[in-house]
Structure 1
Amino acid sequence: MNGDDLLNIGAFAAATGLTIPALRHYDEIGLLKPARVDAGTGYRRYRRGQLDDARLICGLRAVGVPIDEVRAVVGQAAGQVRSTLDGHRERLVAQVRELSQRILAVDEFIEKGSPMPALQAARPVQIRIKVGDVQEAAAFYTAAFDVVFNEAISSLQFGTYRSDRFFLITLEERDGPASETCGTRFGLLVEDVDAVHHRAVSAGAVEVGPPTDFSWKPRTSCVRDRDGNFIDLSQG
C-alpha cells in the first residue's frame, strides 16, 4: 500500500470529527482499526476509504448509540443503520417518559415534604393482564397513554416507586389466542378523556363506548386493546 494514500491520525481526526483519543480507543477495542501502524513509532495511519465508516461512528456516538450497536452496523446497509436509530429513538423516548415521572415525584416531594407519605391503609399497586406479544402490547400502551415500560419487570409503570402515583400493569404473554370474554377490565383516570380516547384508538384500540357525560360519575369512555383487555377512561 502506498503511504502517500494514507492519512495520519491528526488529518483523519480532522476529516471525520472524531478526536485523536477516540480514534486510539476505537483501535484498542477493535471498532475502527487503522490501515497501518508503524512498528517503530506506533503512529497510526488510515485509508481514505475508512472516512465514511469513521463519520458514521462519529454521528452515532454523538447521539448516544451504545458502542456494541455501533459496531453491529459499521459497514452495513443504510437500512440497518436506520433500524438501529429507530430503536435508539424509542429508548430515548422511554427515558424521557421516565424522567417526566421523576420530575412529578420531585414536585410532589417539594410540595408535601416527604417522598413517601404514610399509608393509612393498604392500596393496590399492580394488576396483571394477558397479551399476545409483550413488546407489541408495550408499544401500544406507551403510544396510547404515554407511560413508561419497564422491560426488566415487563410492566407499564405509572409514577415512581414510593410515590402516591406508583402503579404497575404487568404484561404477561398468554398461551392461546385472544377472545372478547377472556380479557381483563381496568380503569385509568386521565386529564382529558376525549384526547386520550382518540389517541388510544389511533394507536390501535377498538372503541367500545365513546366519551360520555353522566350525572352520577365523571365523563367516561371505554376502549379495548388488541389483546381483548377493556380500558375504562375517566375524567380526572
Structure 2
Amino acid sequence: MTDTTARVALVTGGSGGIGKSVVTKLVDDGFAVGVHYAGNKAKADALIEEVTAVGGDAIAVSGDVADENAMAAAFDAVESAFGGVDVVVNTAGIMVLGPIAEYDLDQFDQLVRTNLRGAFVVSQQAARRVRTGGAIINFSTSVTRTRLPRYGPYVATKAAVEGLTLILARELRGRDITVNTVAPGPTATPLLFNSNTEQTIQALTNATPLERLGQPEEIADAVAHLAGPARWVNGQTVFVNGGLA
C-alpha cells in the first residue's frame, strides 16, 4: 500500500471524454486517482502514463459498472493502493438515441444496465466505502429538462439516477459525505459527436446563450468543486450547461 496523505478518488469511465478531464483535474488538485475503464485498457494505461509523467499518482482498474463483484474489486484495488476512498465520480455511461415508439428493447435494457444499474452499483459501493468528509458525484444530463426528441430512453435512465442520488444524500445523514449529481449540457466529447448528426450538434451549439459547446474541462471544474470545497452543496442536481434552457 502506498503511504500517502493525498485524498483519493475513483473515477468510473475515467479513460475518455469527460472522465479523462475529471481525472486530470483531480490529479492537479492533489488527488491520487483510480482510473476505471470498461474495455479500452490502452487508453487507461496511456492516461496513467500522462498522470505519472507530471508527478501524479494513479492506477487503472477495470470492470463492468453493473457487476457488483467487479466494482467491489475495483474499490478494493484503489483502497489497497492508496489506503481508502474519499471521492467517487461516476461518469461511466452509454447513449443510444431513438424515438420511443421505435426503440429496440434490447438496447433499452443495455442502457438501463449501464446507466442506471451501473450508477446504483457504484453508488452502493461508494456509500459503504467513502470516508468521512468525502463526496459521491453521479452524472445525469441537462436533457432531463430540455426534453429533446429521441433522447427519451437515455433521459429515462438519467432521471432515475438523479432520484437515486438525492435520496442517497439523505440516507448518509451524519457521515459528512455529500452526494450530488452533475448534469452537463452539450459537451464536445465522442459521446456527443457519435450519437448526433452534424445538424443536431449545430442546433445544440446555438441553443446556449454562450453559443458554443461546453468543453470537458469545464465539466471537470464543476466536479472538482463538488469533490473539494463545496461542502454545503448536498443532495442537488447541478446543471453545467452554459445557460441551456
Q: Normalized against structure 2, the TM-score is what?
A: 0.27
Greater radius of gyration (CA): 1
Structure scoring higher RCO (CA < 8 A, sep ≥ 6) equals: 2
User: Hey, which of these two has a bigger chunk of helix by percent?
Assistant: 2
> Which has a greater percent of strand?
1
Normalising by structure 1, we get a TM-score of 0.28
